[in-house]
Chain A
Amino acid sequence: MKIVLNNREEFLETTKQSLTISELLVLKNYSFKSLVIKINGDLIKREKRETASFREGDQVEVIHLISGG
């Protein structure tokens, strides 16, 4: 599946038509605890990660947050 991930084209190895955010995080090994996630500009809350999904051509952003301030 080809998507735009953090403003770059990204090919995801999957046979599925759509993927959930949780599946993306596993697929990409994104293991940070705190993240901000958007699909096509819409914020996906933490509790929606299991259900919110995207498909071919969608824009996905995964911003990791780290401590310090």
Chain B
Amino acid sequence: MSRLFLITFLDPSFGGILSRINLGSATMRVDDIKRILKRKTVGIAGCGGLGSNAAISLARVGLGSLVLVDFDKVEEGNLNRQYYFSDQVGSYKAIALKENVRRVNPSIAVLAHLAELTPSLIADLFSGCDIVLEAFDRAEMKEMLIECVQTAFPSMPLISGVGMAGWGKNDLIGSMRSGNLYIVGDQQSEASDDNPPLAPRVGIVANMMANLALELMLGSD
């Protein structure tokens, strides 16, 4: 793996150099921010490290609705990066995250689906969303979700987290854009047994995804 990675990474035409994102910046009072966000719905595919942390941030700033999808249960080993508590080990992630999100912000509407996403389910569950966050763990699931969302909803912004394992290397983390597809992460640090994803870097990427979602939602109103 590491040799293939090196070859590809050294090839300057590959990855990391898609268009920079420049949506412009604006300022707004907190009441106006809440008024806009109240009407918005964000879909989150996968309630692991990226999905759980992004959901909490979006709930804190006053998002109106979340659609959470995950079939997994919280495990002890998830607590090093995912927004769950030790007494939630064994609970379904989508349900536990709904509880945590609503403890932060009781007025947010949360639809929690316990399902493994398939192409037809993706089109169903995310049809009412303003933005979808791709927060899966496995690369092949990321590919499937991106293909499905970009095909079913070509005009819907889709934010995908790619590359956040390990620690340090703050400067490598960034965001890129390709049409309505946004890639956040360092695009090179793959999670493995020898390079586990950990709370700080996963949290950074999750919050950059939430931050970009905010920029898109507040900018498009």
Please tell me if the beta carbons of A36 and B14 are within 8 angstroms of each other in the complex. no
A3 CB to nearest chain B CB (Å)? 10
Q: Is A17 an interface residue (CB 8 A)?
A: no
The verdict on A66 contacting B190 (CB below 8 Å), with A30-B14, A45-B147 known, is: yes
Chain B interface residue bracket vs A? 35 or more
Return the contact of B17 from the options A8, A30, A67 (Cβ within 8 A).
A8
Query: In the docked arrangement, what's the CA distance between A43 and B143, Å?
Result: 11
The verdict on A61 contacting B18 (CB below 8 Å), with A67-B137, A68-B165 known, is: yes
Q: Chain B residues in contact with chain A, CB under 8 A? A: 4, 7-8, 11-15, 17-19, 46, 48-51, 135-140, 142-143, 146-147, 150-151, 160-165, 178-179, 181, 183, 185, 187-192, 197, 202
B67 CB to nearest chain A CB (Å)? 17
The verdict on A6 contacting B15 (CB below 8 Å), with A67-B138, A68-B164 known, is: yes
Q: Is A14 an interface residue (CB 8 A)?
A: no
Q: Which residue of the partner chain A has the closest CB to B185?
A: A68
The verdict on A32 contacting B8 (CB below 8 Å), with A6-B14, A41-B179, A69-B161 known, is: yes
Chain A residue numbers with a CB within 8 Å of B185 are 68
Please tell me if the beta carbons of A36 and B147 are within 8 angstroms of each other in the complex. yes
Residue of A5, A29, A35, A65 with most chain B CB atoms under a 10 A cut-off: A65
Could you list 20 examples of A-B contacts with CB < 8 Å? A7-B19, A8-B17, A10-B13, A33-B139, A34-B139, A34-B140, A35-B143, A38-B179, A41-B179, A43-B150, A61-B18, A62-B15, A66-B139, A67-B190, A68-B185, A69-B46, A69-B49, A69-B50, A69-B135, A69-B202
Give the 9 A-B residue pairs with the shortest CB-CB distance, closest first. Answer: A68-B191, A34-B139, A66-B190, A34-B143, A65-B139, A65-B142, A69-B50, A69-B137, A67-B139
